[in-house]
Amino acid sequence: MNFQAGKDTLKRKFDTVGTRTPRPDGLDKVTGRAQFGADLTAPGMLWGMILRSPHAHARIKSIDTSKAEAVNGVHAVVTSRDFGPCPDDVLDIRENVMARGKVLYDGHAVAAVAATSRSAARQALKLIKVDYKVLPHVTDVDEAMKPSAPILNRKLFTKGLDKTPRKPSNIAERFEFGHGDVEAGMKQADLVIERTFKTEATHQGYIEPNACLANMGSDGRADLWCCTQGHFMVRQVCSALLGMDASALRVTASEIGGGFGGKTTVFVEPVALALSLKASRPVKIVMSRSEVLRASGPTSSTSIDVRIGMKKDGTITAGDATLRYQGGAFPGSAVPYGAMAAFACYDLKAVRAVGYDVIANRPKQAAYRAPGAPMAAYAVESVVDELCKELNLDPLDVRLKNASSDGSKASYGPNFDVIGLRATLEAAKAHPHYKARLKPNQGRGVACGFWFNFGGETSVSLNVSADGTIGLSVGTPDIGGSRASIGNMAAEELGVPHDKVRCIIADTASLGYNDVTDGSRVTFASGLAAINAARDAIGKMCERAAGIWGIPVDAVTWEDGAARPSSPNAGNHEPLTLADIAAQAGATGGPISGHCEINAEGAGVSFATHLVDTEVDPDTGYVKILRYTVFQDAGKAIHPSYVEGQFQGGAVQGIGWALNEEYIYGEDGKLQNPGFLDYRIPVASDLPMIDAVIVEVPNPGHPYGVRGVGETSIVPPLAAISNSVSSAAGVRMTQLPMSPPRLLKALGRI
Amino acid sequence: MNVISGRIPLQYHAPATLKDAVNLLANSKGKTQILAGGTDLLVRMRTGFSEPDNIIDVKHISPMCKISRDGKGFSIGAAVSSAEMSENAALLKAWPGVVEAAALIGSTQVQGRATIAGNLCNASPAADSVPAMVAAGARALIRGPKGKRKVAVEKFCKGPGKTVLKKGELVEAILLPEKPARTGDAYLRFIPRTEMDIAVVGAGVCVTLDSKGVCTAARVSLGAIAPTVLLDARAARTLVGTSLDDPALDALAAACSAAARPIDDKRGTKEFRIHVAGVLARRAAIIARDRALGKS
């Protein structure tokens, strides 16, 4: 069944949708019954451990594993030799999960062992002899772009230039977006401000380290249990790397202790499979926190120039940005998204954003919540804030004056559909927070943010049980409450109470393909598919009712959870509830289920406005977050508590990014702070309650108006907090994180 | 070849008396570690950073699990957790700076296990309880094969991870004197967060005032600005003879910044630590002064 853009239901009244039902995974998670990546064991299981490079950049001259293989309890040792040829699109992943010829960053995997105990595995790792020739390294993005920089990959020639260069460099690709005459626009301005910003790499900081259990038989069939945002992606990548048929590998997604984009790729899974294949035993690998920080996928560190022109009345005449993102040792940073999102909040006649994707001796970056956009918004919203201050204009008024709106041309090309940016700005302006008084050393910051959102390939199966309850199988791991919201949408559509629906994440053998849980797509796309699957099942149940009553199916309608004759002409039949029909399913044609397989389009973009008050201690540079309010367009909040949680979570991760989180590399190219002690994510007592204001401007592309909400919330905080701190400190900050030493220096105290 | 079969499995000992503990410690082979709260040791073992052959758990030795007071002062057994210290009203009244410092370590959960003796023996220059103990004039009571000895806390650590303990010796208790009249202590540390962090800089101050509010004695200690916690006599002298007014406090801050000889590292820069050492000492001195005056 194809769904027409949901005009039929956008204005409907809901029973379950929009209510705060108890979370379906709550009991399991508070009692410890939930099974996460590291929680599964298998008979005969071995422990896998990985040897990692102590060098930022080195040639591997030789690896001698013979002593490790001789350790009592060791069943297998693998190196890059154990990963054969693979398709081009997974070559970088193959090299990232096991170094080949060269190590490219501190923590790069070099070899792995599987042993009967962790202590035997640890012992064996110490006995693997790797002979390195250490090479010069580079970890800073601006340094990596210099012609004199150490070259990571001699086969890398910058793409996206008019002429492909003859010399290799660390610049993988150039991107450009925009329209209009930027220089002419700048000339129309009364004030042009240009600034350069730098941001450090951060990690998603998911609490659950990456973990998996691989079990490969000698027949070449395997089962893999892992914590991931996309088990179909894991199947695709791992089967390609191991040379297996996709269907020979069944992947089951565990409960997941946070992902935030970081679990949209593989790290230990192919290694566990290779070890299991070699040992003919199940192999479990659990990354330590140090391994997670050194060798999973943090964000890019960035260097960004922004130039914006403004008239005295606040009209922005032109915007121009150059964004340089270091994405680790392989191409593919999120710089194109950053360049596209940089000016998306503004309806501009002249705009240009140029992005450079740069490689450096750091772990390959992975997605992190609106990948690439927070840094771009930080730079642009900081300059807009400075322009407002210089021209003595209200920052919300200026944004309202220039805000993108329905139909306006986006800075990255297309025209916007119905969007809610203006509504979030108006909500912020009307909120008591915006009028609250500030004391000395306190400041208020405002910033907006945008994220595209995504739909994608989605498959859902809905099974009606004989007792009238519903089993709903989706293929998108639940990283933010999607089982509740998808289940509630199915319940709404079927007309049954929410607790009659149990939504589970089915394994890769039990359901059609699903794209990864990313792009804030799941409540939108799996929700849309669940609604369609429910309608499919409703159609079948109407057929059964028609059969029971002996009337044509088009004379049956579905209302309030029951089949009813559509008019008195159809006969005087008592309604048949879902449970009534389910009970007779065997006698009326067999099991009833509904399906939907779709490539969902129409994911509505989402905007947010954040307000934050901070206080700066001028003697120590300590920043306290006093008050924080998020205004974001959710389209339609299916489960408001989870929506608020997404708003709050993005703000909190942004607070960490803005104030203290950073990858600190030493002169030796080694990560100095691979642990939660010195990689400083905020703790609960650092934070005020984050107020979440849900704005609802329905997305015309979804039957209930849903827009993804997971990512937009992390786009404004870096800028909002920097604007707030700059105001409190009386000095414009242009580098993140604004750690106390950096802030105290900016204040001229040291 | 069987490489790991030669390794002795970890031996866990839980002696019931100090004498047994000392005997075990003196006669153990390989690497032996004392387990009190375990908040450093167990984490290190878990990460593979420490692989001891023997662990001697001192939590079954009852005198080591008690806080006692004998007229000369307090004895805080080496297995007493910082949470227990916080619940001891007499100790809190006498030495709030020390108790508060112990209550800064880690989190609520960590404080239920962590001990100040362990904090001292870990010999980190950034240990939170150590500058507070130094300011308060605490001593470590050491027990070994040759009997007891007492060492001033400021002389206990020789460098990061290095202490004066000899083979067979362990810390039995931390001794704090009775608080002299009109005396107040305080400890402040700087972290960029509010908990679950390690001091970037720490400062402990203890002052005794006369009946007119003039400082007659002072001890000033600084943490995380040198290889060991410093007891700085020069900084203390800036306070003696003053009423801890602004010029005296400015002089104290300057002296502390001058005494600091920190390093640049992931937790903070050298120049930051030098500046903040003075800021914290000044703020701690105000709290200590107010406590000595009975204001708080």
Give the model confidence (pLDDT) of B20-62 as tens digits.
Answer: 999 999 999 999 999 999 999 999 998 888 989 999 999 999 9
In sequence order, what are the residues at sequence separation of 6 or more whose Cβ sits closer than 8 angstroms to the Cβ of residue B244?
Answer: B207, B215, B285, B286, B289
- Please give the average per-residue pLDDT across A209-232, as a whole number: 97
- Please give the average per-residue pLDDT across A666-695, as a whole number: 97
d(CA A400, CA B19): 77
d(CA B91, CA A332): 59
Q: What angle do CA B224, B226, B230 make, to 5 degrees?
A: 85
Tokens 């490539």 sit at which residue? A599
Tokens 């090309």 sit at which residue? A413
How many residues in total does chain B contain? 296
- Give the one of B196, B198, B271 whose C-beta lies nearest to A683's C-beta: B196
Note the pLDDT of residue B102.
98
Query: Is the CB of A750 less than 8 angstroms away from the CB of B196?
Result: no
Minimal C-alpha gap between A124 and chain B (Å): 9
Interface of A with B in 427-446 (CB under 8 A): none
d(CA A610, CA A630): 5
Note the pLDDT of residue A692.
98
d(CA A334, CA A366): 8
Q: Express each pLDDT in A610-657 by its tens digit.
A: 999 999 999 999 999 999 999 999 999 999 999 999 999 999 999 999
Residue A160 in this model has a pLDDT that exceeds 80: yes
- Give the one of B190, B266, B271 whose C-beta lies nearest to A620's C-beta: B190
d(CA B2, CA A73): 9
Substitution target in B109, B276, B279, B280 with the highest count of A β-carbons within 10 Å is B276
Report the 10 Å Cβ neighbour count for A552: 10
Cis amide leading into A575 (omega within 30): no
Residue A2 in this model has a pLDDT that exceeds 90: no
Torsion, CA A523, CA A524, CA A527, CA A533, rounded to 10: -160
What structural domains and CATH numbers belong to chain B? Answer: 9-57 (3.30.43.10), 67-177 (3.30.465.10), 183-292 (3.30.390.50)
Substitution target in A622, A670, A725, A736 with the highest count of B β-carbons within 10 Å is A622
Minimal C-alpha gap between A625 and chain B (Å): 11
d(CA B194, CA A617): 14
Q: Are A673 and A490 in contact (CB under 8 A)?
A: no
Q: Is B5 helix (H, G, I), strand (E, B) or coil?
A: helix
Query: Is the CB of A72 less than 8 angstroms away from the CB of B5?
Result: yes
**A71 in contact with B, Cβ within 8 Å:** yes
Instruction: Provide DSSP, A620-671.
Output: T--EEEEEEEEEEE-SS-SSHHHHHHHHHHHHHHHHHHHHT----B-TTS-B
Query: Is the CB of A660 less than 8 angstroms away from the CB of B2?
Result: no
In a 13 Å sphere around the CA of A580, the CA atoms on its Cβ side amount to: 12
- Please give the average per-residue pLDDT across A189-215, as a whole number: 98
In chain B, residues with a C-beta closer than 8 Å to the C-beta of A620 are 190, 276, 279-280
Q: Where is B181: in which H helix or E strand?
A: none
Residue A192 DSSP label:
E
Query: Is the CB of B272 less than 8 angstroms away from the CB of A741?
Result: yes
Residue A671 in this model has a pLDDT that exceeds 90: yes
Query: Is the CB of A750 less than 8 angstroms away from the CB of B275?
Result: yes
Query: Is the CB of B3 less than 8 angstroms away from the CB of A70?
Result: yes
Residue A717 in this model has a pLDDT that exceeds 60: yes
d(CA A283, CA A601): 39
- Please give the average per-residue pLDDT across A221-236, as a whole number: 98
Residue A7 in this model has a pLDDT that exceeds 90: no
Average pLDDT value for chain A? 97
Question: Which residues pair with residue B29 across a beta bridge?
Answer: none
d(CA A469, CA A502): 8
Q: Express each pLDDT in B72-111 by its tens digit.
A: 999 999 999 999 999 999 999 999 999 999 999 999 999 9
Query: What tokens does A93 get?
Result: 């992943």
Phi, psi of A371, deg, nearest 5: -50, 125
Give the pLDDT band of residue B1 (cuts 50, 70, 90): very low
Measured CA to CA in angstroms, residue B40 lies from A405, B106, B227 at distances of 56, 11, 19
- Please give the average per-residue pLDDT across A306-331, as a whole number: 98
d(CA A249, CA A264): 18
Q: Chain B residue with minimal CA distance to A115?
A: B4
Q: Are A79 and A111 in contact (CB under 8 A)?
A: yes
Q: What angle do CA B77, B79, B81 make, to 5 degrees?
A: 100
Report the 10 Å Cβ neighbour count for B247: 10
Query: What tokens does A496 get?
Result: 């049954």
Indicate whether this model's pTM tops 0.90.
yes
Q: Chain A residue with minimal CA distance to B277?
A: A620
Query: Is the CB of B3 less than 8 angstroms away from the CB of A123?
Result: yes
d(CA A511, CA A504): 11
Q: Is A221 helix (H, G, I), strand (E, B) or coil?
A: coil
Note the pLDDT of residue B47.
83
d(CA A184, CA A717): 32
Residue A682 in this model has a pLDDT that exceeds 50: yes
- Give the amino acid at B201: V
Query: Is the CB of B192 less than 8 angstroms away from the CB of A678?
Result: no
Query: Is the CB of A683 less than 8 angstroms away from the CB of B194?
Result: yes
* Helix, strand, coil share (%) of chain A residues, nearest 5: 30, 25, 45
Q: Are B85 and B67 in contact (CB under 8 A)?
A: yes
Question: What is the share, in percent, of chain A residues with pLDDT greater than 90?
Answer: 97
Note the pLDDT of residue A11.
62
Which one, of A533, A711, A525, A513, lies nearest residue A602 by Cα? A525
What interface predicted TM-score (ipTM) does this complex get? 0.95
**A191 in contact with B, Cβ within 8 Å:** no
The long-range contacts involving A26-32, CB below 8 angstroms and separated by at least 24 positions, are: A28/A255, A29/A255
Question: Which residues pair with residue A607 across a beta bridge?
Answer: A450
- Give the one of A120, A621, A683 whose C-beta lies nearest to B4's C-beta: A120
In chain B, residues with a C-beta closer than 8 Å to the C-beta of A619 are 276, 279
Query: What tokens does A18 get?
Result: 């929009």
Q: What angle do CA A653, A655, A661 make, to 5 degrees?
A: 75
Tokens 């192999």 sit at which residue? A283
Q: Express each pLDDT in B155-204 by its tens digit.
A: 999 999 999 999 999 999 999 999 999 999 999 999 999 999 999 999 99
In sequence order, what are the residues at sequence separation of 6 or more whose Cβ sits closer than 8 angstroms to the Cβ of residue A687?
Answer: A625, A628, A652, A655
Measured CA to CA in angstroms, residue A485 lies from A15, A55, B3, B55, B257 at distances of 13, 46, 54, 51, 57
Query: Is the CB of A621 less than 8 angstroms away from the CB of B47?
Result: no
- Biggest distance spanned by C-alpha atoms of chain B: 78
Query: Is the CB of A664 less than 8 angstroms away from the CB of B266?
Result: yes
Q: Are B33 and B41 in contact (CB under 8 A)?
A: yes
Give the pLDDT band of residue B7 (cuts 50, 70, 90): low
Instruction: Provide DSSP, B205-268.
Output: EEEEE-TTS-EEEEEEEEESSSSS-EE-HHHHHTTTTS---HHHHHHHHHHHHHH-----BTTB
Tokens 């009592």 sit at which residue? A72
d(CA B177, CA A140): 53
Query: Does A26-34+455-600 carry CATH code 3.30.350.10?
Result: no
Note the pLDDT of residue A573.
96
Query: Is the CB of A70 less than 8 angstroms away from the CB of B1?
Result: yes
Give the pLDDT band of residue A327 (cuts 50, 70, 90): very high
In sequence order, what are the residues at sequence separation of 6 or more whose Cβ sits closer than 8 angstroms to the Cβ of residue A1?
Answer: A532, A535, A536, A539, A596
**A327 in contact with B, Cβ within 8 Å:** no
d(CA A321, CA A511): 44
Phi, psi of A592, deg, nearest 5: -115, 130
Note the pLDDT of residue A242.
97
Query: Is the CB of A677 less than 8 angstroms away from the CB of B197?
Result: yes
Note the pLDDT of residue B4.
47
Report the 10 Å Cβ neighbour count for A163: 6
